[in-house]
Structure 1
């Protein structure tokens, strides 16, 4: 994955966040509004292109945890649909980059991890109330 061209989020403020994160080697951008973020690169399920976005994360032991909230919109974010199709992903946390396997948390894991993530970003609770879909919690484990 690392040798192919990566396409950053088309959302301008996210694209700028990623640019700062990458250009600074993770020294800048890791904290966004005081909240820890990582860069997640997935393989496009239709295009096959590598797609990168920035996401708020939490930790569960050695694993990283992210939420597919998309601000409470009715559909899952593209990055989530991509990792469902291809769970092997690239992750950058600060200066460290690694390959990981992504999976959706089980119902039991989600029940435990949702409060952890809502403590990090309280808006997740409001996002869940805005939509009828169950917002997925994703676990990223080093490969």
Structure 2
């Protein structure tokens, strides 16, 4: 089955986005019933206006992000401390929760502290590995 994924992340921490993508790719290669489409907005593929300029207006950008989340079946969020300091990530999480989309927080082994506010918002977290991610997305 093909799952529609939105990875919430901060551009300043792009390695987190790529590590989640690598886990999704590993799950795709390992499980024949799993595939995904990425509706995220990574820094290498930002949202552009109809004139081709980087979309920077907060209201327009928020609407564009909400549209991407609306197209997704699940929202993935890294359980890292930068989440507490990123207004955009928090807005993405709150929007997804308000719309009753599934939000999965991914806990990395290398992360010493997990933002408790994030866990309270989403309800739980999983280990950041392709097996746990596959199980959480497909359940």
Scaled by the length of structure 1, the TM-score of the pair is: 0.35
More strand per residue? 1
State the TM-score, normalized to the length of structure 2.
0.36
